[in-house]
């Protein structure tokens, strides 16, 4: 009797369409994440003579050339996450609760600020705050003391990191603050709590999942970034740089060492993921379809401070963009900026084919759709289903590409897809798949955060009135998470269209993207940076204009 | 219903695109024999003039240039693709890197090999230019010309007056590796320890070049052609060729093993060494020619005025791991 | 349509939520599942609804075995603790959603929505969004939504626990009225005994994954079958002791009380349940004598606790004030012998 019923209930489980969807998603991840990147595992556990060994890990742990960068990376990532949260959380709170003039514009700008001009972003800060930078020099000449000589160094990495990531945290936390049922705060007030106490004890804890997820994404972005430390670290060793150097060094590449360090990175970020999951899982749901937050008025000094804070943060977030746009109208000679206005950069750019603009949009567009579909499936399974094997597998696998340097990731792709049964190298498809897989983590995380705020009873209610799961998902879940899906998809798209490090390793003529053009014109110290700046400006404009229109179209109702 | 239509549209779009996207003519080169795929490590400021000259000389051959961030990345890509090579020619970076990756390169003897001053007996690399490294001093940061270094020896003085010396780690920078082997050849490992005391170690050569240009440090090293261009563009730097010996590299190109367009590739690499291309290299790129019959670009001193360090290439190429390990030790003992 | 639950068990990993539960809900009746949190009542309701699958056992609506019937085909109405209204739909759309899925004609949907909202007293709020309604109004919408499809059974999972005390009482009468008007078979989960006693035809008291007793509210209150039920439903004094040869009850503390009639055969160990209202203060002829340790005024009367010489506490009702420390004599007009000792709530 017992046995029969058990098999019956498991058969009922198999009818669940999510199980099939989950298996399909798992298959995709196995083919495009595990299979291509398996070589890293192999390299890390094989000695130079080809035998299984753990020596590389022992050597890693014993050598301060590796442990010091590891500690640096962890500390810097935590510092950046904390700093970005300190900027983002108060801003998000004020924006979620008070009537702020230009709200829609600010929100759109913040979405835009989640992407930095590829390749040139950190240069911009150097140009301003380096030892010979514009601001540094001006301050020196005006006799204004600065707390630093140059942005170069660990402080610079953190500074750039904070302004590079705070918008990510903001977007997640803002949605959460908006979603907190005002009744909960009113309840706290009614039992004699002061408003600030109520915020501290009620509102903030409810936003913790979003804050933690935002911090996690921000921290991981820095943890995996090798471009910024390489450019403005001034020799401050961070783990991604070590990995990169050991994979790609022209003098003495040691893939075994690099693979070992990569696996350590994956482990560390796995720990971070566990922590993030723990904290998010412990929290209850913020929304059950309660009331909307009313926006309150702000007057006088608080209003001035709020506006000042928001626009200062935005300005700092957009420093790279502004500098790049400005310098695209100046003459560069052998990589050195001349203070002469010119349109020459654009003339040279438009002499060449404009096909990269179209290709970038096509690649990122398709990849973004793929990421959205897969992201929704994975996020839904992770957030809702108690699948014992595929659930945790999906959740952990999907994050792997977030940590691997793009170049390393691309090497795996070439190794895996340059031979039968699947040949993708040299095609445009490999770029699309690479974008899709590399940026899936972000898309998936933002959908997961949104789903965590949709109480499961909303779907059960739909089923109880006769809607099959697919229908209830479509009619209930999708409309509720749509704003988050759109904003997650948008940020994902932005990150795809600005993807460079994997593209450079994978592209083949004629599949040249905008980032490749930018990179080609800025790759060497003496390269024509002006053309790169001009292409970046074209990229930013061509991405931001549709983004602005999209936000206008979709977000008015949700605000 | 609406969703159904949307889904259909997306499916159609995907199907349509994947048709276009998987067309791998260009990469795999199943197309015409008169095209070749070039993996280039240099920026357009180097490649464009010479590619333009090639187009004029060989209008029948199309060059598909793929730019890669550095020689390390380029060889990593070639290595990853080695079962089914997608590239035909790799161009840029110095000769010893080609020797170190000889298993990826097809040795071919080309007509113009004989005309170059540096020749590879194995015909793995083909010299396309000569690169000398100079000491670079930022004259804003380190204005006192009387104290500027004149030799490698000066850079290791205990009270070096120029502050920190930027130096890319030789593990990741070919330029630095060449400087290191020069230092050891001219002096010894004890010198390297003393030098390391004055040095600020950086992740890559780009940072080493930029830091002296931006005035982050007073002293650094630089490839002479870039230094000359920067001075011309107004950078406040001065190039000093050490009188105790100058390090140098041989800019190279090679034909990738298993290249699908072998003949076109050979034609291209041979063209890079031709007098015509070399003249363009000197006139427009401002790099030294690898041929004896083409003189140095204006702004760079003639080779005869420089004392070459005479590094033992076999040692430098063969004992790389040991040399790098010794460098690590020197850095450690320097504190 | 009646509901029969037979031998339903369910565990989540190591924890057993339900242990072979049998329950029958007669057609047209309202049964409450009453118990403390974690007793399995919500799990049982969710199995009936089809949100969870039982490990063993069966659930039937009438003659229909539901093992292979998914939620959306069970013809149920479900009311959630959290209301679970769809925030992106108006009140009318929330109620109409299930009707639309059935592809009913527009006019019919409109009529049913209007009738449903009228039944719960929300006419005129059709175009509001759930976010603009109070908690009580939201739960009324949820009720209208659950009933719009005229389901076979109505399942309610602590529907009132998010409301304030006064509204709770109002709403439970409302729910009872609507249930009786529609004549629907209903299962109602609550941890609130007052709620259970007031609205149910039958109360099933659950403890540790089992149903301890099922019966009319009066039966459960007056004739608890287990000590748990006795102590969970209402206030009770439970005295455990051995029946003496003369029909008295020898308590653990040493004292012996005479209860008017023997609570069992001599030598038997029994639990005697005494409701506060069954005890009467007397000046002479007391069955119990004790010292008042606590006394509280409750409007309609007073409830006090007396400590017997053996340390047992007895709760009783009375009208005139009593000082703590006073010695009182009590007589039990009636008492119940509880069959099984299953611990206290």
Give tens-digit pLDDT for B295-321: 889 889 988 889 988 888 889 888 888
**pLDDT confidence tier of residue B29, bands split at 50, 70 and 90:** very low
More confident residue, C291 or A525: C291
**What is the predicted pLDDT for the residue at A10?**
40
Question: Which residue range forms the structural domain that includes residue B145?
Answer: 132-248+311-334
Exposed, middle or buried: residue A104 (CB in 10 Å: 0-12, 13-18, 19+)? middle
So what's the pLDDT on residue C147?
Answer: 92
Specify the pLDDT at position B26. Answer: 41
Q: Test B203 with A152 for CB contact under 8 angstroms.
A: no
The confidence score (pLDDT) of residue A436 equals: 95
Among B17, B64, B216, beta carbon nearest to A130: B216
Average pLDDT, chain B: 88
Of the candidates A123, A151, A120, which has an alpha carbon nearest to the alpha carbon of residue A137? A151
Residues of A in contact with C150 (CB under 8 A): none
Domain stop point among A299, A327, A355: A327
pLDDT at C134: 85
- pLDDT-based confidence at residue B182 (cuts at 50, 70, 90): very high
Whether C148 and chain A come into contact, CB under 8 Å, resolves to yes
Q: What is the pLDDT of residue B10?
A: 52
Are residue A356 and residue A320 in the same domain, yes or no?
A: no
Considering the domain architecture, whether residues A21 and A169 belong to the same structural domain is answered as: no
Let me know if residue A333 belongs to a domain.
no
Mark whether A and B touch (3+ CB pairs within 8 Å): yes
User: Residue A2 above 50 pLDDT?
Assistant: no
What is the domain-level CATH number for residue B244?
Answer: 3.40.190.10
Mutate to test the interface with C, among A466, A469, A475, A481 (most CBs of C within 10 A): A466
Q: Domain range spanning residue A342?
A: 17-49+338-559
What is the pLDDT, as a whole number, of residue B268? 96
> Does residue A333 have a pLDDT over 80?
yes
Are A9 and C57 in contact (CB < 8 Å)? no
Q: What is the mean pLDDT of residues A103-127?
A: 82
Cβ contact C232:C36 at 8 Å: yes
Are A297 and A372 part of one and the same domain? no
Residues 6+ apart with CB under 8 A from C255: C308, C309, C310, C312
Indicate whether A34 and A104 sit together in one domain: no
Kindly state whether residue A1 falls inside one of the protein's structural domains: no
- Higher per-residue pLDDT: B43 or A81: A81
pLDDT in tens, A403-425: 777 877 888 888 888 887 778 88
pLDDT score recorded for residue A171: 85
| Residue B80 in domain | yes
Average pLDDT over residues C282-302: 86
Assess whether pLDDT exceeds 60 at residue B23: no
Q: What is the pLDDT of residue A186?
A: 66
Q: Which of A460, A461, A463, A558 to mutate to test the interface with C (most CBs of C within 10 A)?
A: A461
| Residue A425 shares a structural domain with residue A440 | yes
Contact A452, A280 (CB under 8 A): yes
**Predicted confidence (pLDDT) at residue B207 exceeds the cutoff of 70:** yes
Which ipTM score applies to this complex? Answer: 0.85
Note the pLDDT of residue B313.
Answer: 84
Question: Chain A residues with CB-CB distance to C under 8 A?
Answer: 1-2, 5-6, 8-9, 12-13, 15, 183, 287-292, 455, 457-458, 460-469, 471-472, 475-476, 479-480
State whether B137 and B215 are in the same domain: yes
C98 touches chain A (CB under 8 A): yes
CATH architecture of C3-226: 3-Layer(aba) Sandwich (3.40)
Stronger pLDDT, C44 or C268, i.e. the higher one: C44
CB contact under 8 Å between C85 and A289, yes or no, is yes
Structure confidence at residue A558 as a pLDDT band (50, 70, 90): very low
Q: Cα angle at C94 between C91 and C96, to 5 degrees?
A: 110
If asked whether residues B120 and B255 sit together in one domain, one would say yes
Please give the tally of structural domains in chain B.
Answer: 2
Alpha-carbon gap: B146 to the closest alpha carbon of chain A (Å): 23
Residue B130 near residue B290 (C-beta atoms within 8 A): yes
Measured CA to CA, the distance from residue C264 to residue A51 in angstroms comes to 81
Q: Is A418 on the interface with B (CB under 8 A)?
A: yes
**By CA distance, what is A293's nearest residue in C?**
C131
pLDDT in the model for residue C58:
93
DSSP C141-170: HHHHHHHTT--SEEEEESTTTTS-HHHHHH
| Chain C: closest CA distance from residue A7 (Å) | 9
Across the interface, of B45, B66, B172, the residue whose CB is closest to A249 is B172
Residue C330 touches partner A, C-beta closer than 8 Å = no
Chain A residue with CA closest to C10: the answer is A6
DSSP-based three-state secondary structure for C248 = coil
Residue B256 and residue B326 in one domain: no
Q: What is the total count of domains within chain A?
A: 2
Structure tokens at C18: 């339900």
**Does C84 contact A12 at a Cβ distance shorter than 8 Å?**
no
Determine, yes or no, domain membership for B14.
no
Rg of chain A, C-alpha, whole Å: 24
Instruction: Give B199: exposed, middle or buried? Use CB within 10 Å, 0-12, 13-18, 19+.
Output: buried
Residue B190 forms part of a structural domain: yes
**Percent of the residues in chain C that have a pLDDT greater than 90, as a whole number:** 48
Q: Give, in degrees to the nearest 5, the angle at Cα C184 between C182 and C189.
A: 120
Distance from A287 to chain B by nearest Cα, in Å?
27
Quick check: A234 contacting B, CB < 8 Å?
A: yes
Residue A155 has pLDDT above 70, yes or no: yes
Give the tens place of pLDDT for each residue, A471-520. 888 899 888 888 778 878 888 898 899 888 888 888 888 888 998 888 88
User: How many Cβ pairs closer than 8 A exist between chain A and C?
Assistant: 111
- Phi first, then psi, for residue A332 (nearest 5°) are -110, 140
pLDDT of residue C265: 87
Q: Assign residue A494 the CATH number of its domain.
A: 1.10.3720.10
Residue B136 C-alpha, separation from nearest chain A C-alpha, in angstroms: 15
Domain match, A295 and A382 both: no
- The total of other beta-carbon atoms located within 10 Å of residue C215's CB is 18
Taking residues C13-24, report their average pLDDT. Answer: 90
Whether residue B107 is found in the same domain as residue B139: no
- Within 8 A by CB and 6+ apart from A396, the residues are A270, A273
What mean pLDDT is reported for chain A?
83
Residue A360 inside a domain? The answer is yes
CATH class for the region spanning C229-338: mainly beta
Same domain, A119 and A29: no
């Amino acid at each position: 009797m017992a046995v029969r019923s058990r098999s019956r209930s498991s058969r009922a489980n198999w009818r669940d369409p999510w199980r099939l969807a989950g298996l399909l998603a798992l298959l995709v991840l196995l083919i495009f994440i595990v299979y291509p990147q398996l070589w890293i595992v192999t390299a890390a556990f094989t000695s130079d003579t080809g035998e299984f060994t753990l020596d590389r890990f022992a050597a890693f742990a014993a050598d301060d050339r590796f442990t010091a960068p590891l500690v640096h990376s962890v500390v810097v990532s935590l510092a950046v996450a904390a700093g970005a949260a300190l900027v983002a959380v108060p801003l998000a709170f004020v924006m979620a609760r008070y009537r702020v003039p230009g709200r829609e514009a600010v929100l759109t700008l913040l979405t835009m600020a989640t992407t930095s001009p590829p390749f040139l972003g950190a240069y911009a800060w150097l140009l301003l705050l380096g030892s010979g930078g514009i601001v540094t020099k001006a301050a020196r000449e005006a006799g204004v003391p600065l707390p630093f000589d140059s942005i170069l160094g660990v402080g610079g990495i953190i500074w750039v990191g904070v302004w590079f990531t705070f918008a990510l945290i903001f977007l997640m936390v803002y949605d959460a603050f908006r979603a907190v049922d005002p009744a909960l705060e009113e309840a706290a007030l009614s039992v004699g709590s002061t408003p600030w106490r109520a915020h501290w004890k009620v509102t903030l804890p409810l936003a913790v999942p979003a804050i933690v997820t935002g911090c996690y994404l921000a921290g991981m972005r820095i943890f995996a970034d090798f471009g910024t430390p390489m450019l403005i670290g001034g020799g401050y060793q961070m783990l991604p740089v070590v990995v990169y150097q050991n994979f790609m060094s022209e003098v003495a590449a040691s893939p075994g060492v690099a693979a070992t360090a990569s696996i350590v990175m994956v482990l560390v970020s796995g720990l971070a993921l566990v922590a993030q999951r723990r904290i998010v899982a412990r929290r209850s749901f913020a929304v059950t379809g309660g009331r909307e937050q009313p926006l309150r008025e702000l007057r006088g000094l608080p209003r001035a401070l709020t506006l000042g804070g928001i626009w200062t943060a935005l300005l700092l977030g957009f420093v790279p963009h502004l500098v790049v746009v400005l310098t695209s109208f100046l003459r560069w000679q052998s990589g050195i900026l001349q203070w002469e206005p010119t349109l020459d950069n654009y003339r040279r750019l438009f002499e060449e084919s404009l096909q990269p603009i179209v290709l970038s949009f096509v690649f990122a567009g398709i990849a973004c759709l793929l990421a959205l579909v897969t992201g929704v499936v994975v996020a839904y399974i992770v957030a809702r289903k108690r699948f014992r094997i595929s659930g945790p597998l999906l959740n952990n696998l999907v994050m792997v590409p977030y940590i691997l340097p793009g170049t390393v990731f691309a090497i795996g792709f070439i190794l895996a897809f340059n031979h039968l049964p699947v040949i993708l190298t040299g095609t445009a498809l490999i770029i699309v798949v690479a974008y899709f897989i590399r940026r899936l983590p972000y898309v998936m995380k933002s959908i997961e955060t949104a789903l965590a705020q949709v109480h499961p009873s909303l779907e059960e209610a739909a089923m109880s009135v006769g809607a099959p799961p697919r229908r209830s998902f479509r009619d209930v879940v999708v409309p509720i998470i749509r704003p988050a899906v759109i904003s997650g998809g948008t940020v994902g798209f932005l990150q795809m269209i600005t993807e460079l490090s994997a593209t450079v390793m994978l592209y083949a003529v004629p599949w040249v993207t905008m980032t490749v053009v930018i990179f080609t014109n800025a790759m060497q110290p003496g390269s024509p940076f002006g053309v790169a700046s001009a292409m970046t400006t074209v990229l930013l404009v061509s991405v931001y204009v549709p983004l602005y229109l999209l936000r206008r179209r979709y977000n008015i109702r949700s605000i | 219903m609406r969703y159904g239509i949307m889904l259909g549209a997306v499916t159609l779009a995907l199907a349509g695109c994947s048709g276009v996207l998987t067309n791998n003519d260009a990469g795999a080169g199943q197309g015409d024999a008169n095209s070749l795929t070039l993996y280039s490590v240099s920026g357009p400021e180097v490649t464009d003039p010479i590619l333009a000259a090639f187009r004029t000389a060989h209008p029948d051959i199309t060059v598909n240039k793929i730019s890669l961030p550095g020689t390390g990345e380029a060889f990593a890509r070639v290595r990853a693709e080695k079962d089914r090579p997608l590239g035909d020619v790799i161009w840029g970076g110095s000769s010893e890197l080609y020797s170190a990756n000889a298993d990826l390169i097809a040795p071919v003897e080309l007509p113009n090999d004989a005309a170059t001053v540096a020749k590879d007996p194995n015909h793995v690399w083909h010299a396309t230019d000569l690169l000398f490294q100079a000491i670079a001093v930022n004259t804003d940061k380190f204005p006192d010309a009387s104290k500027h270094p004149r030799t490698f020896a000066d850079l290791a003085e205990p009270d070096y007056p120029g502050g920190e010396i930027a130096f890319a780690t030789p593990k990741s920078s070919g330029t630095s590796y060449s400087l290191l082997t020069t230092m050891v050849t001219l002096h010894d490992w004890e010198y390297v320890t003393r030098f390391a005391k004055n040095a600020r170690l950086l992740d890559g050569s780009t940072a080493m070049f930029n830091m002296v240009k931006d005035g982050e440090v007073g002293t650094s090293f630089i490839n002479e052609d870039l230094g000359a261009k920067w001075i011309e563009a107004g950078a406040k730097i001065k190039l000093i060729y050490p009188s105790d010996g100058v390090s140098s590299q041989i800019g190279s190109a090679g034909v990738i093993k298993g290249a699908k367009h072998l003949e076109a590739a050979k034609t291209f690499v041979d063209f890079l060494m031709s007098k015509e291309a070399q003249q363009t290299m000197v006139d427009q790129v401002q790099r030294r020619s690898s041929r004896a019959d083409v003189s140095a670009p204006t702004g760079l001193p003639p080779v005869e005025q420089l004392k070459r360090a005479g590094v033992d290439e076999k040692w430098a190429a063969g004992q790389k791991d040991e040399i790098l390990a010794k460098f690590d030790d020197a850095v450690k003992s320097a504190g | 349509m009646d509901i029969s639950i037979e031998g339903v068990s369910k565990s989540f990993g190591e924890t057993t939520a339900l242990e072979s539960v049998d329950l029958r809900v007669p057609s047209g009746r309202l049964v409450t599942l009453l118990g403390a949190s974690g007793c399995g009542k919500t799990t049982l309701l969710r199995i009936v609804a089809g949100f969870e699958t039982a490990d063993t056992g069966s659930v039937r609506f009438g003659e229909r075995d539901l093992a292979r019937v998914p939620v959306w085909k069970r013809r149920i109405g479900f009311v959630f603790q959290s209301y679970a209204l769809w925030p992106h739909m108006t009140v009318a759309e929330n109620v109409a959603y299930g009707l639309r899925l059935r592809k009913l004609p527009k006019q019919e949907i409109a009529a049913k929505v209007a009738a449903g909202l009228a039944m719960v007293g929300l006419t005129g709020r059709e175009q509001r969004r759930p976010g603009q309604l109070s908690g009580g109004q939201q739960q009324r919408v949820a009720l209208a939504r659950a009933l719009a499809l005229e389901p076979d059974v109505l399942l309610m999972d602590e529907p009132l626990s998010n409301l304030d005390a006064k509204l709770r009482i109002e709403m439970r009468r409302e729910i009872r009225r609507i249930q009786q008007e529609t004549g629907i078979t209903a299962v109602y989960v609550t941890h609130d005994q007052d709620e259970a006693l007031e609205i149910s035809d039958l109360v099933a008291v659950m403890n540790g994954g089992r149903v301890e007793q099922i019966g009319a509210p009066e039966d459960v209150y007056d004739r608890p079958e287990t000590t748990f039920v006795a102590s969970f439903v209402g206030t009770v004094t439970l005295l455990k002791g051995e029946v003496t040869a003369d029909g008295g009850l020898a308590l653990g503390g040493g004292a012996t009380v005479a209860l008017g009639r023997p609570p069992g055969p001599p030598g038997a160990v029994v639990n005697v349940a005494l409701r506060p209202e069954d005890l009467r203060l007397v000046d002479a002829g007391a069955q119990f004598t004790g010292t008042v340790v606590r006394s509280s005024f409750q409007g309609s009367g007073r409830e006090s606790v007396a400590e017997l010489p053996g340390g047992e506490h007895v709760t009783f009702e009375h009208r005139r004030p009593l000082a703590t420390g006073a010695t009182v004599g009590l007589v039990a007009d009636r008492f119940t012998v509880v069959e099984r000792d299953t611990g206290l709530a």
